[in-house]
Structure 1
Amino acid sequence: MAKAIRVGIAGLGMMGQLHAKHLINMPGVEVTAACGTTHAKAEAFCASHTGGAARAYDDFDAMLEREQLDAVYICLPPYAHQGQVEAAARKGVAVFIEKPIALSTDIAERMVAAIEEAGVVSQVGYHNRFGTAVQELKRLIDDGTAGAPTLFDGRYECNSLHSPWWRDRSLSGGQVFEQAIHTYDLAMYFFGTPERISGFTANLNHQEAEGYTVEDTSAAVIRFRSGAMASITASNNAVPGQWNSCFTVICSKLTAHFKGANKAEFIFTGGAEPVRREVGSELDVYAAENESFIAALRGEGPEACPIREGLRSLRLVEKVMKSADEDGKLRDYE
């Protein structure tokens, strides 16, 4: 029997708990350590999510030093990404990291350099890439069936104050950085490298909310090197208790209307008459991304979304926000 993959988790909030749930149910994977902001929180996490099998830590470096880990999941808020990736890479430990991978491209570039220099496996938590309908459209674009990509029209919306750190731009980067980045990533996944960007943001409905310094409304227009374009909007003024993402992708021979990553209507327009096809499944995209990472770690599959992809999408949203800070001034991607 192959040696079990030993995993440590840093950041024990919603995403850390979600990944732990999937990992403990995967054959040949053991969650052996967890690191939280306090030892008590880490102990509680270990008791509730691993039956006490994992060891609790409140110091990431101590966890790396004392445990023989094969991989670490970094599920920390953006502001707390402070050298953990680099430390893991130096130890030869694979890294799964949630988005955004940093609050600036300068920090992200150091993370990418450490991972690539060490040659360890990495993955960014862009779970939407694993959706059934997303994967099908990607295949049809890559093999030419969809024709030339022309337009990505995406929207992300919710209505919540979230955690105190989330509504502080200096800690989260804002909604574009922390939430809508999933939509920006999909635009790049389908269309490739951006060229020119213009963005606008505003706080239209949360001026009185304590500590709220992030945008609640945003819009960006992007032109890609291929000539394709994207319009991406986000709102924190929509329906309370709902987090919705939808997008349309128009190619010269196919229009796809997505209702999330798993479900879409594909309309093929390359023939005499349009042909409609529903694409959908109930795939758990979080389970799929975990399975992909562990397979890559075992040498049984490619790195589906290595850390450099996190840098690419971070650069895009950083340009959107810099443009917005300058009243929509056009920005070059590179």
Structure 2
Amino acid sequence: MTLRVGILGNGGIAARHAGAVAKLPEQMTLLAVSGRNIERVRAFTDQHAGKPFTCVEDMLDFGIDLLIDTAPPYSRAGESMVAAKAGVHLLVEKPIALDMATADALVESAAGVKAAVGFMYRQGEAVRRWTAEDTGPVGLMTGIYHCNALHAPWWRVREQSGGQVLEQLIHIIDLVRLFMGEPDTVYSRTANLFHRETPDYDVQDVSAIIFGWDDGRLASLTANNIAVPGQWVKGWSLFAKRATAHFSDWNNAAFKRTAPEVKEECWSSGCDPFVAQLADLAAAIRDDRPPLVPIAEGAATLRLALAAVRSADERRELRIADAI
């Protein structure tokens, strides 16, 4: 079965997904693209394929099997829920919403289809290799996300993007859950240090988050938008009972087993996580199984990110069960 794919949105991330679809010709084909500006959508489809639309309902009537929702969270109007209720499978980019009520409603609406969230870091070969190793529990995780750009106008407005914690650092917050499970507490601080005079920029440009577990384990994450212009630096380190690893990205890590004997390895791969997540979703549809990262994971990770933002707003440690 070749899946007929529709994409909602026509920005940079939509182009990455369109490119991934093109690399899986035996599994899927790009049939349609929908966006608000028909000229931009036409330019996108001229480059990538598909029929242009300005209405998701019309795109659904055209006959798609899978909707890839890349629209910014502020601009979504329930299109993925409409698609899911029509029996169309989903891949929704993160964050899946800016509040838990909307996220939970989306998860509920997708109960009858295969629905995944775009946490593509989990698709990386190094990430998947760690989860298959016998490392023992992770006692400490550290993570960073550093850049310096004005990004899109909507990105700079908290009401529209949720800020850097929800829009970028959420990828590494998701890895906290993957590697360490659900934390019990969160304490965070954020600030807008160097963009206070930038018009329509009210999101944080520095942040620090500590997730805690009642058994003593910790995860410490930092992010900023004041680093080297034009560079995106992401990474995380894991310190477990029997191993440590330093990840420069989802595919590359320096792994060291520390018990029962010391052993070092370099993990490296060229896996394209955008292709990997679509291939996994296609297999989930074919084999009638859950995708590697089901959409419920998008809601669970959003809950942690929102709790971190609330902790920073209130400048106090919060128990996550009571925070959101």
TM-score normalised per structure 2: 0.96
In the alignment, is residue 43 of structure 1 matched against residue 39 of structure 2?
no
The within-5 A match list for 1:177-216 is 177-216=166-205
State which of 78, 92, 100 in structure 2 corresponds to 1:97. Answer: 92
The within-5 A match list for 1:286-297 is 286-297=274-285
Residue 245 (structure 1) aligns with:
234
Q: Which aligned segments of 4 or more residues in structure 1 are displaced greater than 3 angstroms?
A: 224-227
Question: Would you say the 8 A contact 2:27–2:282 is kept in 1?
Answer: no
Q: Deviations over 1:1-39 (max 9, x none)?
A: xx3211110011011111011102311411111101112
Unaligned runs of 5+ in 1: none
Q: Deviations over 1:232-265 (max 9, x none)?
A: 1101111111111111001011011111111111
Q: Deviations over 1:214-248 (max 9, x none)?
A: 00000111013664220111011111111111110
In the alignment, is residue 132 of structure 1 matched against residue 125 of structure 2?
yes
Residue identity (%): 37
- 1:295 and 1:226 map into 2 onto residues whose CA distance is 38
State which of 95, 119, 136 in structure 2 corresponds to 1:147. Answer: 136
Amino acid at match of 1:87: V
3-state secondary structure, aligned to 1:239: coil
Amino acid at match of 1:60: V
State which of 37, 57, 60 in structure 1 corresponds to 2:56. Answer: 60
Residue 275 (structure 1) aligns with:
263
The within-5 A match list for 1:308-319 is 308-319=296-307
Question: Would you say the 8 A contact 1:131–1:285 is kept in 2?
Answer: yes
The within-5 A match list for 1:256-275 is 256-271=245-260, 273-275=261-263
Q: How many pairs are equivalent?
A: 321
- 2:213 and 2:19 map into 1 onto residues whose CA distance is 38
- 2:284 and 2:139 map into 1 onto residues whose CA distance is 32
Question: Would you say the 8 A contact 1:292–1:301 is kept in 2?
Answer: no
Q: CA deviation at 1:301?
A: 5.8
3-state secondary structure, aligned to 1:277: strand
Q: CA deviation at 1:331?
A: 3.4
State which of 108, 114, 118 in structure 2 corresponds to 1:113. Answer: 108
State which of 5, 13, 16 in structure 2 corresponds to 1:15. Answer: 13
Taking only aligned residues, the RMSD between alpha carbons, in angstroms, comes to 1.4
In the alignment, is residue 299 of structure 1 matched against residue 294 of structure 2?
no
Unaligned runs of 5+ in 2: none
Q: CA deviation at 1:81?
A: 2.4
In the alignment, is residue 320 of structure 1 matched against residue 298 of structure 2?
no
Question: Would you say the 8 A contact 2:189–2:315 is kept in 1?
Answer: yes
- 1:24 and 1:275 map into 2 onto residues whose CA distance is 40
State which of 214, 223, 229 in structure 2 corresponds to 1:234. Answer: 223
Q: Deviations over 1:112-146 (max 9, x none)?
A: 01111xx1001111111011111111112xxxx20
